[in-house]
Amino acid sequence: MKKIRVTQVKSRIGQTLRQKRTLDALGLRRMHQTNELVATPQVMGMVNKVKHLVKVEEI
């Protein structure tokens, strides 16, 4: 399957609790932390919810 690299580029401070939990579910806990994930519909939905906080690259 296709993989994506997700990097947190904006702080979670001031964001809603739901967005913070979505970042946690994506494995992003700090600024500039990167995680490689399989691009399933569930993961892409989570990325879409926090697209203003992350940078996404296809691998």
> Would you put residue 16 in left (φ > 0), alpha (ψ -120 to 50) or beta?
beta
- What whole-number distance in Å separates Cα of residue 41 and Cα of residue 29? 22
CATH class for the region spanning 3-58: alpha beta
Can you give the pLDDT at residue 5? 98
Output Rg (C-alpha) for the chain, integer angstroms.
10
Nearest to 11 by CA among 49, 54, 47: 54
Residue 1 has pLDDT above 90, yes or no: no
Residue range 4-8: average pLDDT? 98
pLDDT digits (tens, 9 = 90+) for 9-57: 999 999 999 999 999 999 999 999 999 999 999 999 999 999 999 999 9
